[in-house]
Amino acid sequence: MESKQVNRRQFLKVSGATAAVAATGIEGILAARQAPAYAQGTKLHWVRWVDFIPESDVELKRQMPEASKALGAEVTFETINANDLQPRITAAIQSGSGADIFNFQYNWAHLYQNAVVDVSDLASALGKAEGGFYEVWAPSCEVNGKWLSVPHSIVGNAVAYRKSWLKEVGFDKFPKTFEELRKAGAALKKKGKPLGQTLGHTFGDAPTFSYPLTWAYGGAETDKSGKKVVLNSKGTVDAVKFMQAAWKEAYDEGGLAWDDTNNNRAFHAGEISATLNGASIYIVAKRQKDKIKDDKGEPLWQDIDHAPLPAGPAGGFLLFLNQSHAVMKYGKNQKLAKDFLTWLHKTENYGKWFTTQEGYSVGATHKWENDPMWGKLDEPLKMFRTAARNTRLFGYAGPSTAKATEAFTKYIVTDMYAKAVQGMKAEDAVKWAEGELKKIYEG
Amino acid sequence: MKKPIAGGSARVEVLAPPRTARRGGAGAWLENERLLAAMLLTPTVLLLGLFIAYPFVMGVWLALSNTSVGNVGEFVGLRNFYKAWNDSIFRTAFWNTTWYTAWATVFKLTLGMWLALLLNRSFRGKRIVRASMLLPFIVPTVLSTFAWRWMFDPTFSVLNWLLYRGGFITTKLPFLSDGAYGMWCAIAVNTWRGMPFFAITLLAGLQTINPDLHEAASLDGANGWHRFWNVTWPLLKPVTLVVVVFSIIQTFSDFQLIYVLTGGGPANSTHLIATYAYQVGVATGLLGEGAAISLFMLPVLFVVVWLQLRYLRRLEA
């Protein structure tokens, strides 16, 4: 039987490595070329969404043994459906047990602020090392001066459209304003090729359209203080009136029941001519070029291009899905969790994952705009490179607090449009939404 | 051993059971009926306490507090109930739940009764038909609802395709993309799923009815409807009431079907109390408010069950 006793030399080796790790963190581990002395059998559990780019999850799974070796602990990686993340986090927090690291989206750091560990040290080190974070990150992850989740990446969105179909109705380039889009869409719908947009209860494509549309017409949920609801304005009413008219004239009216995957399928099947989405429509069409073809039997990806969501009278705005990672307070291995996140963001590790995304996600920092990957991508994907520079969060014009999340998860802004396109007067739909927001922000 | 029993002048001697061996401690415990009953009931009471009483008490406490995810709440009285009652989405969900439960129960009862009467007849393959009828009830709700969701898909609905090909429609029906259609679709799926439970229970009830009663009614000249209304229905009433009570409880607190089929949309037109409570409690993290919303089901179900059980007792009397 193998002796489990530790001799003096082993003790010094282990304690030396421990001291090095304590003093220098992950850099120390890597410099020492030795895993830190976490207790034998120490495990770390990491939960993320199921990526819309499956190859990226494959890459992360491939990296886990490397991470385990580098950290001297067993790192387990689990993916779950994005809509199941919040129930899972809630259950974990309330029961005080579960994954050590959770994938947060949008501004969840505000929602779960008392259940996560301060990761300001990691975030500031990462921001400094990589040329600074995009502006959207501080309001998303920083609560009362502390960073409560580490920014990871931003899923950009743009309108994927059929170049040839737009040309057929006289648009060589994608419309730059919503009014132009309405005209193009009306002509396309007459040809049986409507625009596609969900107004259903789904976390991605619905709010990333409904909020920017409101902003584009000058509407906002609250004033700058975040305490006074200002939704009921001329701008919001105009936005709702636009959507009411455009819905009948230009859009596939089935969109009221779509989730985040319906528009991908409808686009690939040639049922719609344009839709707001991440880059996944293009990427999947190209990767499955033998299956996904256009009406002439040619690979569909060749006829796809991307354009930013059009602008309204007040300008063009974007709401992107941002992804960060939080270390849970109930976890027994908080230091290990932080070390793991540092390891994950090392250029050589993060870069491999980033490359598999092919522009579907952009980095959390400006550094990744200059990654060589962008030079190798197809032209339609290159627009995502700088797309995250000018995005907003829900709750605008106030701070994006937990109250903004409540309004978001209740789909109030999306439902304002959904009610209007189903026949409610625009003014009444806005009034309804204003009433609901007041109960949240002013109640 | 003989024990003398006093009995007037006569003297009767009763033989006590022979003692083969002295009963041990466990044996003596088993002889005590009270103790035995307590022992047998304890596991059930513990299970009920753990899985029903504790969550219920916890739910009541949460509903009376401002607990949110990661924050221990404080007692806030009835504030959460007041907030819910003044919330237009909650009112919509409450009305939807009532509407959904009422119509689904009516359809399940009518179609379940019709199916039970058909299955009560003799025909070839009766056993296979009876067994296969239970399939919708056996298949996990999430799985079957996903299948229905595909059938109602706004873009690729097979039902729309069939209706279009059959020349019945010229444009797609907005199964899930219109509030009213969405609700009726949900009712249809619930009926499809719950009808076998009604049919099989009512069939069991039908088989307890003596055929002589029907024969006598026929001889008196009663037609099929009269035989059903005057013989079958009165004898089936107790079973029917029990099934209806069960069904109302299950349908009023339904969650899975709506969560998968519509997610409560479009524009909350299919939200039920359970799905809205989940949205507020779990997605938004307002556990106290979510618990209060779900507790609104309790008084409604209590009144329904109480009324029906009272009626049942009167019937039995």
Domains and CATH numbers, chain B: 90-271+298-316 (1.10.3720.10)
Higher pLDDT, B317 or A101: A101
DSSP assigned state of A113: G
Q: Do A256 and B280 touch (CB under 8 A)?
A: no
Closest chain B residue by Cα to residue A413 = B267
Asked if B70 and A93 come within 8 Å (Cβ–Cβ), the reply is: yes
Which residue among A90, A202, A422 places its CB closest to the CB of B69? Answer: A90
Do A42-153+325-375 and A158-320+381-441 agree at the fold level?
A: yes
Q: Which residues of B touch A415 (CB under 8 A)?
A: 265-268
Question: Which residues in chain B touch residue A432, judged by CB atoms under 8 angstroms apart?
Answer: 88
Mean pLDDT score, A374-386 = 93
Q: Do B69 and A115 touch (CB under 8 A)?
A: yes
List, in sequence order, every residue forming a beta bridge with B12; answer none if it has no partner: B5
pLDDT of residue B1: 43
> With contact defined as beta carbons under 8 Å apart, do A182 and A245 qualify?
yes
The reported pLDDT for the residue numbered B2 is: 45
User: Cβ separation of A254 and B268 shorter than 8 Å?
Assistant: no
Query: Mean pLDDT across chain B, nearest whole number?
Result: 88
The residue of chain B nearest to residue A272, with distances taken between CA atoms, is B155
The list of chain B residues with pLDDT below 50 reads 1-10
Residues of A in contact with B156 (CB under 8 A): 265, 269
Q: Return the SS3 of A364.
A: coil
Helix (H) or strand (E) holding B172: none
Q: Strand A274-277 relative to strand A158-162: parallel, antiparallel, unpaired?
A: antiparallel
- Closest by CA position to A385, among listed A402, A405, A371: A371
Partners of residue B175 in chain A, C-beta under 8 Å = 257
3-class DSSP assignment, residue A149? coil
Residues of A in contact with B178 (CB under 8 A): 256, 422
ipTM value > 0.90: no
Tell whether the model's pLDDT for residue A157 goes beyond 60. yes
Q: How confident is the model at residue A427, as a pLDDT? A: 97
Looking at chain A, the number of H-run helices and the number of E-run strands are 19, 12
Residues from chain B that touch A411, judged by Cβ atoms under 8 A, are: 265, 268
Residue A333, both tokens: 């291995």
The answer to whether A266 contacts B69, with C-beta atoms less than 8 Å apart, is no
Q: A255 contacts in B (CB within 8 Å)?
A: 154, 177
The closest CB to that of A257, out of B177, B281, B282, belongs to B177
Helix or strand or coil: residue A423? coil
Six-digit token pair at B307? 């009324």
More confident residue, B35 or A282: A282
The angle at the Cα of A370, spanning A365 to A372, to the nearest 5 degrees, equals 125
Does the pLDDT at position A124 exceed 70? yes
Yes or no: say if B183 and B270 are a contact pair by the CB < 8 Å rule. yes
Helix (H) or strand (E) holding A339: helix A334-344
Asked if A255's CB is within 8 angstroms of B177's CB, the reply is yes
Nearest-CA distance from A248 to chain B in Å? 13
Do the chains contact at B175 and A257, CB–CB below 8 Å? yes
Tokens found for residue B89: 């989405």
Rounded-to-integer distance, Cα B38 and Cα B48, Å = 15
Contact A256 B172 (CB under 8 A): no
Q: A with B: how many residue pairs have Cβ under 8 Å apart?
A: 114
Alpha carbon distances (Å) from A60 to A197, A350, B163, B273: 31, 9, 46, 39
Contact flag A111-B69 (C-beta cutoff 8 Å): yes
pLDDT at A197 over 70: yes
Contact at CB, A115 and B70, closer than 8 angstroms: yes
- pLDDT attached to residue B123: 84
The pLDDT assigned to A177 comes to 97
Q: Residue A66 pLDDT > 80, yes or no?
A: yes
Instruction: Enumerate chain B positions whose Cβ falls within 8 A of a Cβ in A.
Output: 69-71, 83, 86-89, 152-156, 172, 174-179, 182, 262-268, 279-287
Assign B94 to helix, strand or coil. Answer: helix
The stretch A143-159 carries a mean pLDDT of 96
Task: State how far the Cα of A9 lies from the Cα of A393, in Å rounded to an integer.
Answer: 55
**Inter-chain CB proximity B69 and A405 less than 8 Å:** no
By Cβ distance, the residue of A94, A257, A271 closest to B265 is A257
d(CA A381, CA B310): 68
Rg of chain B taking only CA atoms, in angstroms: 28
Contacts of A356 (CB under 8 A, 6+ apart): A53, A55, A56, A58, A59
Interchain pair B156, A201: CB under 8 A: no
Q: At what angle do helices B297-316 and B233-252 cross, to 10 degrees?
A: 170
pLDDT tens digits, one per residue of A215-262: 999 999 999 999 999 999 999 999 999 999 999 999 999 999 998 889
Alpha-carbon span A86 to B286, nearest angstrom: 12
Chain A nearest CA to B102, separation (Å): 24
**Minimal CA–CA distance to A51: which of A353, A405, A383?**
A353
Closest by CA to A48, choosing from A402, A341, A343, A410, is: A341
Read off the pLDDT of residues A2-39 as tens digits, 9 standing for 90 and up: 344 444 444 444 444 444 434 444 444 444 444 555 66
Tokens, residue B288:
């106290």
Q: Do A439 and B263 touch (CB under 8 A)?
A: no
Which pLDDT score, from 0 to 100, does residue B23 have? 56
Nearest CA in chain A to B89: A436
Q: Return the pLDDT at B211.
A: 87
Distance CA B303, CA B77 (A): 23
Q: How far is CA A259 from the centre of its chain?
A: 16
Q: What is the pTM of this model?
A: 0.83
Q: Is the pLDDT of residue A362 over 50?
A: yes
CA of B85: how far to CAs of A429, B57, B97, B289, in Å? Answer: 20, 22, 15, 11
Report the C-alpha gap between B92 and A97 in whole angstroms. Answer: 36
> Which chain B residues have a beta carbon less than 8 Å from that of A418?
265-267
d(CA A282, CA A52): 12
- Asked if omega into B186 is within 30° of 0 (cis), the reply is no
CB B16 within 8 A of CB B3: yes
The answer to whether domain A158-320+381-441 has CATH 3.40.50.300 is no
Q: Which two tokens stand for residue A150?
A: 């580490």
CATH number of A42-153+325-375: 3.40.190.10
Q: Which residues pair with A362 in a beta bridge?
A: A154
Determine contact, residues A68/A75, Cβ cutoff 8 Å: yes
What sections of A158-227 are H helices per DSSP? 163-168, 178-190, 207-216
Distance between A281 CA and the closest CA of chain B, angstroms: 17
Angstrom distances, CA of residue A2 to CA of A5, A6, A7, A12: 9, 12, 13, 20
- Quote the tokens at residue A173: 């380039």
The Cα–Cα gap between B288 and B65 comes to 6
Distance CA A154, CA A365 (A): 10
Whether residue A203 has pLDDT greater than 70:
yes
What are the pLDDT digits (tens) for B245-295?
Answer: 999 999 999 999 999 999 998 999 999 999 999 999 988 899 999 999 999
Which residues of B are less than 8 Å from A253 in CB distance?
174, 177
* Structural contact between residues A70 and A340, judged by C-beta atoms closer than 8 angstroms: no
**Phi/psi class of residue A25: alpha, beta or left (left: φ > 0; alpha: ψ in -120 to 50)?**
left
Nearest CA in chain B to A192: B171
Contacts of B153 in chain A (CB under 8 A): 262
- In chain A, residues with a C-beta closer than 8 Å to the C-beta of B264 are 201
Best to test chain A binding among B54, B79, B276, B284 (most A CBs inside 10 Å): B284
Distance between terminal CA atoms of chain B?
49
Residues whose CB is less than 8 angstroms from the CB of residue A352 and which lie 6 or more positions away in sequence, other chains included: A59, A63
| CB spacing of A256 vs B265 below 8 angstroms | yes
Contact call for A255 and B279, based on CB within 8 A: no
Give the start-to-end residue ranges of the domains of chain A: 1-32, 42-153+325-375, 158-320+381-441
DSSP collapsed to 3 states, A285-300 = HHHCCCCCECCCCCEH
CB of A326 closer than 8 Å to CB of A109: yes
Q: What pLDDT shows up at residue A22?
A: 41
Contact flag B179-A422 (C-beta cutoff 8 Å): yes
Considering only residues A67 and A32, tell me which one the structure prediction assigns the higher pLDDT.
A67
Q: Smallest CA–CA separation between B41 and chain A, in Å? A: 29
Residue A131 pLDDT class (50, 70, 90 cuts):
very high
**CB contact (8 A) between residue A418 and residue B266:** yes
User: In 3D, which of A9, A27, A8, A28 has the Cα closest to residue A18?
Assistant: A28
Query: Tokens standing for A40?
Result: 């034998």
